[in-house]
Structure 1
Amino acid sequence: MPVSHAVVPTTSGSRYINRLCKHWQHKLNVAHDEHQGRVEFDTGVCRLRAEPDALHLSLEAVDAEAREHLEHVVAVHLVRMASREDVDVAWRRDDA
């Protein structure tokens, strides 16, 4: 499975996990608490983990095309949720 990771510098990681997971829970299988989240899309899974100074994102997708699409979806939604903060989502792909 193609995998991607991103580390987003922010002190609001827990808040973003909460907002993203609540947004997606109406349509997708979602589990989350204050420090971590898991969102199951049709074509992959996104894991989110908050640390004091960063939000860690990890994606596993069924194929490279799905990974690219999920990277875009997660990044766009995170930027929207973080409207008061300039966040930069730079994905690093693990192609093993």
Structure 2
Amino acid sequence: MSPDSPRADGRVATDRAARYLTQLCGHLNAIQHRHEARHSSAGLPQIRTVTLSGNAALLEFDRGTCRLEANDDALILSADATDADSLQQIKTALTHRLETIGAREGLRLTW
């Protein structure tokens, strides 16, 4: 992405950040490998690669990226995209997935 690309930073307060990072990456990796037709037909950002290394991850979409880092009290996200609409779609998709995964704990992702 260029320095002028739309960008958003997010945070999920939780003492289980590493667990949620692993779950999110596993879920997105499964979607990537299944090539779900409903995602491409809906115009949603497509997952290209999911790279998890320790307490950090890089999600590469067809129209942007998101870096994630798990620390002791939060999961930190930094997303950028080719345009504002793509950024909003990436944010919406990640918010939905994380809040679904963490529903029992009441997780909330704040951008």
Do the structures match in fold with TM over 0.5?
A: yes
Do 1:18 and 1:34's aligned partners in 2 also have CA atoms closer than 8 Å? no
Secondary structure at the counterpart of residue 95 of structure 2:
helix
The structure whose residues are more often helix, as a share, is 2
Total equivalences in the alignment:
91
For residues 89 and 9 of structure 2, the distance between their equivalents in structure 1, rounded to whole angstroms, comes to 14
Secondary structure at the counterpart of residue 85 of structure 1:
coil
The structure whose residues are more often strand, as a share, is 1
Root mean square deviation, CA, Å: 1.0
Q: 1:38 Cα deviation (Å)? A: 0.8
Moved over 3 A (4+): none
Match of 1:7 in 2: 11
Identity %: 32
Match of 2:87 in 1: 67
Residue 17, structure 1, aligned to residue 37, structure 2: no
TM-score by length of 2: 0.77
Structure 2 unaligned regions, length at least 5: 33-47
For residues 56 and 47 of structure 1, the distance between their equivalents in structure 2, rounded to whole angstroms, comes to 8
Name the larger-Rg structure: 2
Do 1:43 and 1:66's aligned partners in 2 also have CA atoms closer than 8 Å? yes
TM-score by length of 1: 0.89
